[in-house]
Amino acid sequence: MSSTTSPPTTARGGPALLLIAAAQFMVIMDTSIIGVALPEIQHDLGFTQENLSWVFNAYVVAFGGLLLLGGRLSDLFGARRMFSAGWLVLLVGSVLAGAAGTVEVELAGRAVQGAGAALIAPSALTLLMMLFGSEPRRLTKALAIYGAAAPAGGTAGVFLGGAITEYLSWPWVFYLNVPIAIIALAVTPALMPAGGARRGSIDILGAVTVTTGVGTGVYAIVRAPEVGWGSVETWIVLAAAVVLIGIFLALQATLREPLMRLSIFRTPNLGAANLAQLLLGGAWIPMWFFLNLYLQQVLGYSAFPSGAALLPMTGLIMVGMVVLAPRLMTRFGPKVMIVAGMLLLAAGMAWLSRIRPDGNFWVDVLPASLVAALGMSLAFIPSLGTAISSARPEEGGLASGIVNTSYQVGSAIGLAAVTAVAAAYGADELGRPAALTDGFSAAFIGAGAIALIGAITAAATLRGSRRE
């Protein structure tokens, strides 16, 4: 279908942006909605304590590992077509995960969900650029709304997961995706620009090696606290991950039509902005994860009050991304915003590390979490916008896939690494608030260190502060 048969972008901009934001909301919500349901899933399907985390990891690894392939497919076959295909795959995976009767089927369903998200996310960003890329002011606002949908999805997942698990049953945390996917499939042809398909090959081996490499690396880091960082198993698995990633990079350097053209990183600021997104995910997701555990396991909050406690932080992120970040970026430029945001995030983490076993929400959590949230909101939009807009228009899908991959891989590796640090300081000693608090405090220090590294690298690698 040619773009001339589609309705004008000005007429459909609002509803289309709503659908794009809903896509971001859903793919992030699917990472958090299973949290409260995990004990029920473990009981019904026979997961061990060791492999239960893979209900989360199977989704994130498939999502992060296949994003580059999703971006490539979006460039080759058209963003609208891949956007619809992603919703269909997500629907199938959700039904599979909800109907699962064994561990293997459950993990397969979660991986299929992640594959669907990997098709949706880069094509959604490409469609956003197609709709708003010619108008910088509208683009910045659209990116802000798109970015704000992520924390909203994360917090909504906590609420919905608790309500659905308590009043229905855990399979419905997956079945919830089905009606939303059906609606998205119905309205996408009318709302989204067709885009242009082009000829080219698909690097399947590259997709397999990068996904397997990322998954192997995450597995090694998750397992290390149990088997030991010095164990032969840990180092063999880590070495396998390095070899797989090395094969992927070698393929990209030699293939005529690689999954990821390595020379794209010669584009000014693209590599630096993606590194910022990777470190931002590596700092933010562990902070959010362990803050939730502190509220429930130390302060004694149940799922619903714990979710409510995260609302002020989420609200500030949304206001910061939609209102503050676009205005400040116009005045100061992306580099200043990214560095300042990362420093604020690190400061919030340092403050959170002072939590107490007998603490309370108003003193130990709220002020520090708001500082961290402000830092996140200021750094996210400039780094995301810089990473996408630096690429050539015809490589929008690739740029979108790379930046989404950076954030998801950073999230997975950051959470695995910080979890290992937290466990070493007592975060796995359930029923002992003092030990748990020590472990969670160490987690916040570790996440803050990642944010500080992000600020330093952004200051060193991003060019200038050109105002956009």
Contact 337, 185 (CB under 8 A): no
Residues 118 and 225 in one domain: no
In eight-state DSSP terms, residue 3 is: G
Q: Which amino acid is at 268?
A: P
Phi, psi (rounded to 5 degrees) for 269 = 75, -10
Phi, psi (rounded to 5 degrees) for 405 = -60, -45
Residues 220 and 303 in one domain: no
Residues 213 and 295 in one domain: no
Contact 6, 194 (CB under 8 A): yes
> Whole-prediction pTM value?
0.77
| C-alpha–C-alpha distance, residues 446 and 427, integer Å | 13
- Of residues 380, 354, 388, the one with CA closest to residue 144: 380
Residues 197 and 233 in one domain: no
**Domain total in the chain:** 3
For residue 468, is pLDDT > 60? Answer: no
In eight-state DSSP terms, residue 363 is: I
Residues 365 and 336 in one domain: yes
For residue 102, is pLDDT > 70? Answer: yes
| C-alpha–C-alpha distance, residues 194 and 169, integer Å | 39
| C-alpha–C-alpha distance, residues 305 and 116, integer Å | 31
Write down which residue in 238, 258, 278 finishes a domain: 258
The residue assigned the tokens 């796995």 is 428
Buried b (16+ CB within 10 A) or exposed e, 376-398: bbbbbbbbbbbbbbbbeeebbbb
DSSP SS3 for 333? coil
Residues 194 and 226 in one domain: no
For residue 35, is pLDDT > 50? Answer: yes
Residues 183 and 242 in one domain: no
For residue 186, is pLDDT > 60? Answer: yes
End-to-end CA gap in the chain = 34
Question: CB-based burial of residue 2 (10 Å sphere; 0-12 exposed, 13-18 middle, 19+ buried)?
Answer: exposed
| C-alpha–C-alpha distance, residues 414 and 409, integer Å | 8
Write down which residue in 178, 201, 224 finishes a domain: 201
In eight-state DSSP terms, residue 65 is: H
Q: Which amino acid is at 257?
A: E
Reported for 12-18, long-range contacts at CB under 8 A and 24+ positions apart, including other chains, are 12/131, 12/190, 12/191, 12/192, 13/131, 13/132, 13/138, 15/187, 15/191, 16/127, 16/131, 16/191, 16/192, 17/128, 17/131, 17/132, 17/142, 17/145, 17/146
Question: Which two three-digit tokens encode residue 184?
Answer: 């998205």
Residues 182 and 287 in one domain: no
Query: DSSP secondary structure string, 175-228?
Result: HTHHHHHHHHHHHHHHHS-----------HHHHHHHHHHHHHHHHHHHHHHHH-
Chain segment 347-373, per-residue pLDDT in tens: 999 999 999 998 888 988 999 999 999
Residues 213 and 276 in one domain: no
Question: What is the share, in percent, of the chain residues with pLDDT greater than 70?
Answer: 89
Residues 219 and 127 in one domain: no
Tell me the mean pLDDT in the region 260-277. Answer: 80
pLDDT at 354: 92
Contact 49, 222 (CB under 8 A): no
Tell me the mean pLDDT in the region 374-396. Answer: 79
Residues 173 and 36 in one domain: yes
Chain segment 286-327, per-residue pLDDT in tens: 887 788 778 878 888 876 677 678 778 878 887 888 788 878
Question: Which two three-digit tokens encode residue 104?
Answer: 């293997």
What domain range is 383 assigned to? 266-468
CATH assignment at residue 283: 1.20.1250.20
| pLDDT higher at 12 or 151 | 151
Residues 208 and 246 in one domain: yes
